[in-house]
Amino acid sequence: MTDLVHPATAVAVSPASRNPALALLRAVARHRLASVGLVIIATLIIIAVFAPVLAPYSPFQQDLYHVLAPPSRLHLLGTDNLGRDLLSRLLYGARVSLLVGIVSSLVSAVIGVVIGLIAGFRGGMVDAIIMRITDAFLCFPPLIFILAMSAALGPGLQNVILAFALFGWTYFARLARGQVLLVRELPFIEAARSVGVPATRIMFRHILPNIVAPVLVAITIGIGGAILVESGVSFLGLGVQPPTASWGKELRVGFTYLEAAPLFSIAPGVMISLAIIAFNFVGDGLRDALDPRLRGANRVSR
Amino acid sequence: MGKYIGIRLAHALVILAIVVVLVFIIARIIPGDAIMAAMAGSVDLHDPSVVERVRHQYGLDQSIPVQFAVWLGEFLRGDWGTSIGTGQKVLDMFVQRLPVTLELFVGATLWSIAVGIPAGILGALKRNSAADIAVTTGAIIGVSLPPFWEAIVLIYLFAVLLPIFPPSGYVPFFEHPLLNLRAVVLPTFVLGTHAGGLLARYVRSSLLEVLGQDYVRTARAKGFSEAAVIARHALKPGMIPVVTVIGLSWGGLLAGAFFIEVVFAIPGLGRMSVDAIFQKDYPVMQAMLIVVSLNVLLVNLLVDILYGYIDPRVRVRG
C-alpha cells in the first residue's frame, strides 16, 4: 500500500516531508476521526489474525445445557442458541468480514480502474461505449445484483466475492475515468507521447500514479461498503454457510431470540457497525488529507 | 434548456436499451434450467419429445434475437409472465405491493430531510464547534449503520423495552390511518438514516463553500446582518446538493427496503424480491431488475433536468 501512495501524493500531502507515505499517515493520524478509525481497524485485524489465541472457547463447541445464557464470567457475552460462546464466535467472525471486505474492494478497484483508464485515455467511441455500459450497470444497486448472483451461484464466500467483482467495478471505473480526463491534458503526458512512449506504458506508468489518491479513498470506503453488503447477504441467509461464524449470520439467528437474549443480535451488529464506521472514518480522513482545496479552507478558517 | 433536456433524454434511452439487453442476458444465462425444474414435477423430462415440446412452449427453440423481441414485446404490453412462486401474474404482484414500498420511500425521504438538512446547516454555521463535530461524526455513523441492525436495535428499544410501536407488521393507510402511521415510524426512520447522513454532509460542505464566495462577502460588507446574509444569500444556493442526494439515494432506498421489509415483516416490493431471489422465481426477478433500474434511471433524469433548471451553468457544460 505504501508504494501505491508514493508518486501521486508527494506534492499533495506535505511538500516539506521526505517520505510521502509517512507524511500521509501522519496527516491521517492528525485527523481526529481517522485516527479513531485506524485504531479500530488495527484492533479488528489483530482479532482476525489471533482469533484462535484470543477466543476463550472454540467457536463450534456446543453446550446444549447452557443455550442463550446471559453474560457471565464464563461467557462474557453469553451463549447462542446452540450454547456456543458468543464472544468467541464474534472474534472468529472478524475473519470473514475483513477478508470479504478487503478482497472485494481491491478486486473491484483493479477491474474498475483498468476500465476507467482505457475509457478516459482512449476517448471517443471507446469511451462513449464503455461509459454507457457503466451507466447501465450503475442503474442497479449493487446489493440487489450481488444478492441475485449469490442466489444463482449458490451460497459461499467465493461467490459473494465473485459477485462483487462483477458488479462492484462501476464506481471505480467512473472515478478513474474522471481523473484520467483531468490528467490526460497535462504537459508531461504530451511530452511522454511526443518522445514515443507506448500508450499502455503512458496509461500505467504516467497516468495511473497520478490518480491513485482518490482511488485509495474509494478503496477504503469501498471496504466498509463491502463489509455491509457481505453482512447483509449473510443476514438474508446467503453468503457463508454454517457452522462458520459470521457477524451477519449471528445477527440473523439472534434476531429470532431478541426478547430472550438481546445481546445475541445486538453484539454482532455492534461489530459490523464498528468495522464499517472505522473504514468510513479513515476514508474521510484520507480524503481531507489528500484534497488540497479542503486543507486550504481549513487554514483560512483558523 | 430544450436542447439540454433532449440530450439527457437521449442518454437515458441509450442506457435503458443497454439495461434491457443486460437483464435479458442475465435472465437467459440462468433460467433455462429453472423452467425445466419447474416442469419436472408435471412432465417426464427423460422423454426428448416432451423436452422439445416444453422448449417450444416457452419459445426456447427460437433464435436468441427472436426470443428477445418476443420477450420485450410481451413486457411492453404488460405481460410480465407468471410467478413460479405464487402463480400470480407478475405485473399484478408489483401493482399490489408498490404503494406499500412507495409509502416507505416517501417516509424515509421526509425523515432524511427533517434530520439531515437542519443538522448540515448547524454544522456549517457553527464550524469546528462541538456541535459541528457531533454533526460530522453523526453523519458518518448514519451513513455506515447496517439498516438491519439499526432496525433490530430500534425494535428492541421501542417495541420490546418501551412498547410504543409495534415490532413488525403493516396496516394499509386506508384501512386504519393511525395504525398505519404507527407501524411505519420505525421502518421509515431506519430507511431514511443513510440518506439523512449523506444530506447532512453535503448540505454542510456545500453551505461552507457558498459562505466562502465573493458575493457573500460583498453582502456582509454591505452591512447585512449575519442572519440576513445566510437566509437571503447563502441558503438557497447551498441547497442545490439536496436534489442530487435525494436522487442518488433513491436507488439505495430499494436495497434498504429489502432488509427493512424482511425485519419488520412488511409486504412490499423488497420482501417480494427477497422471496423471489430465494425461490429462484426468475419472472419476478427479471421484472424486478427492470423496475429497479427504470426507477433509478428516471430519478437520475429528473435530477439532471432539475439541476439544469436550478443551476444554468450545468446546461452549457452538460
Q: What is the average pLDDT across B155-181?
A: 91
User: What pLDDT does B42 receive?
Assistant: 62
Among candidate residues B257, B297, B250, the one with its CA nearest the CA of residue B100: B257
- Given pLDDT bands bounded at 50, 70 and 90, which one contains residue B34? low
Nearest CA in chain B to A293: B209
Q: Look at B278 and A237 and tell me if their CB atoms are within 8 Å.
A: yes
Residues 273-292 of A with CB under 8 A from B: 273, 276-277, 280-281, 284
CATH of the domain at A239: 1.10.3720.10
- Given pLDDT bands bounded at 50, 70 and 90, which one contains residue A296? very low
- Given pLDDT bands bounded at 50, 70 and 90, which one contains residue A2? very low
* In the predicted structure, residue B261 carries a pLDDT above the cut 50: yes
Nearest CA in chain B to A36: B137
What would the grid cell of residue B12 be?
A: 437515458
* In the predicted structure, residue A233 carries a pLDDT above the cut 70: yes
* In the predicted structure, residue A114 carries a pLDDT above the cut 70: yes
User: What pLDDT does B155 receive?
Assistant: 95
Q: What is the average pLDDT across A85-96?
A: 91
Residue type, A223: I
User: What pLDDT does B104 receive?
Assistant: 95
What is the distance of C-alpha B224 from the center of its chain? 42
- Taking the C-alpha atoms of residue A10 and residue A210, their distance in angstroms, rounded to an integer, is 10
* In the predicted structure, residue A14 carries a pLDDT above the cut 60: no
- Given pLDDT bands bounded at 50, 70 and 90, which one contains residue B317? low
Q: What is the average pLDDT across A189-196?
A: 90
| Cα-based torsion angle of the residue sequence B226, B227, B228, B230 in order, rounded to the nearest 10 degrees | 80
Q: What is the average pLDDT across B265-274?
A: 93
Q: Would you mind telling me the total number of residues written for chain A in this entry?
A: 302
CB count within 10 Å of CB B5 equals: 15
- Given pLDDT bands bounded at 50, 70 and 90, which one contains residue B219? confident
Question: Closest to A151 (Cβ–Cβ): which among B145, B152, B277?
Answer: B277
Q: What is the average pLDDT across A133-157?
A: 81
- Domain for residue A152, yes or no? yes
In chain A, the number of structural domains is: 1
- Given pLDDT bands bounded at 50, 70 and 90, which one contains residue A72? confident
CB proximity A70 to B under 8 Å: no
Give B52 or A39, the one with higher predicted confidence.
Answer: A39
Q: How many beta-carbon contacts under 8 Å exist across A and B?
A: 122
* In the predicted structure, residue A198 carries a pLDDT above the cut 60: yes
- Domain for residue A237, yes or no? yes
Q: Look at A33 and B128 and tell me if their CB atoms are within 8 Å.
A: no
* pLDDT averaged over every residue in chain A: 83
- Tens-digit pLDDT profile for residues B277-286: 888 787 888 8
User: What pLDDT does A151 receive?
Assistant: 75
- Taking the C-alpha atoms of residue B293 and residue B201, their distance in angstroms, rounded to an integer, is 26
Q: Look at B289 and A235 and tell me if their CB atoms are within 8 Å.
A: no
Residue written as grid cell 475473519: A95
* In the predicted structure, residue B164 carries a pLDDT above the cut 80: yes
Q: What is the average pLDDT across B149-153?
A: 96
Q: Look at A273 and B278 and tell me if their CB atoms are within 8 Å.
A: no
Q: Look at A269 and B128 and tell me if their CB atoms are within 8 Å.
A: no
- Domain for residue A28, yes or no? no
Q: What percent of chain B has pLDDT above 70? A: 91
- Taking the C-alpha atoms of residue A128 and residue B130, their distance in angstroms, rounded to an integer, is 47
- Domain for residue A20, yes or no? no
CA distance A194 to chain B (A): 30
Q: What is the average pLDDT across A121-131?
A: 90
Mutate to test the interface with A, among B21, B28, B149 (most CBs of A within 10 A): B149
Min mean pLDDT across A66-70, B14-18, B125-129 is at A66-70
| Domain encompassing residue A45 | 40-59+72-301
- Given pLDDT bands bounded at 50, 70 and 90, which one contains residue A157? confident
Residue type, A261: A
Nearest CA in chain A to B153: A266
- Domain for residue A18, yes or no? no
Q: What is the average pLDDT across A117-122?
A: 92
Q: What is the average pLDDT across B189-193?
A: 96
* In the predicted structure, residue A87 carries a pLDDT above the cut 60: yes
User: What pLDDT does A291 receive?
Assistant: 67
- Domain for residue A34, yes or no? no
- Given pLDDT bands bounded at 50, 70 and 90, which one contains residue B245? confident
CB contact set of B206 (below 8 Å; sequence gap of 6+): B237, B238, B239, B240, B241
Min mean pLDDT across A46-50, B35-39, B308-312 is at B35-39
Nearest CA in chain B to A272: B146
| In contact, A126 and A118? CB cutoff 8 Å | yes
- Domain for residue A19, yes or no? no
Min mean pLDDT across A6-15, A181-190, B31-40, B259-268 is at A6-15
- Domain for residue A81, yes or no? yes
* In the predicted structure, residue A295 carries a pLDDT above the cut 70: no
* In the predicted structure, residue A3 carries a pLDDT above the cut 60: no
Residue B38 class from Cβ within 10 Å (0-12 exposed, 13-18 middle, 19+ buried)? Answer: middle
Complex confidence, ipTM: 0.85
- Taking the C-alpha atoms of residue B210 and residue A144, their distance in angstroms, rounded to an integer, is 37
Residues A114, A106, A132, B1: is their CA dihedral positive or negative?
Answer: negative
Q: Look at B292 and A266 and tell me if their CB atoms are within 8 Å.
A: no
Q: Look at B255 and A281 and tell me if their CB atoms are within 8 Å.
A: no
Phi-psi group of A8: left, alpha or beta (phi > 0 → left; psi -120 to 50 → alpha; rest → beta): alpha
Q: Look at A141 and B152 and tell me if their CB atoms are within 8 Å.
A: no
| In contact, B242 and B207? CB cutoff 8 Å | no
| In contact, A121 and A184? CB cutoff 8 Å | yes
Alpha helices in chain B (DSSP H): 2-29, 32-39, 48-57, 64-76, 90-125, 130-144, 147-155, 177-211, 214-221, 226-228, 235-238, 240-263, 269-278, 282-310, 312-317
- Given pLDDT bands bounded at 50, 70 and 90, which one contains residue B81? confident
- Tens-digit pLDDT profile for residues A242-265: 778 889 988 999 998 988 888 999
Question: Closest to B293 (Cβ–Cβ): which among A140, A224, A237?
Answer: A140
User: What pLDDT does A17 receive?
Assistant: 47
Mutate to test the interface with B, among A130, A139, A234 (most CBs of B within 10 A): A139
CA distance A140 to chain B (A): 5
3-state SS, A69-99, equals: CCCCCCCCCCECCCCCEHHHHHHHHHHHHHH
Nearest CA in chain B to A282: B140
Q: What is the average pLDDT across A76-88?
A: 85
In Å, what is the CA distance from B285 to each residue of A20, A125, A297, B70, B90? 49, 33, 48, 18, 10
- Given pLDDT bands bounded at 50, 70 and 90, which one contains residue A289? confident
Domains of chain B: 2-76 (no CATH), 91-317 (1.10.3720.10)
Q: Look at B22 and A280 and tell me if their CB atoms are within 8 Å.
A: no
CA distance B289 to chain A (A): 7
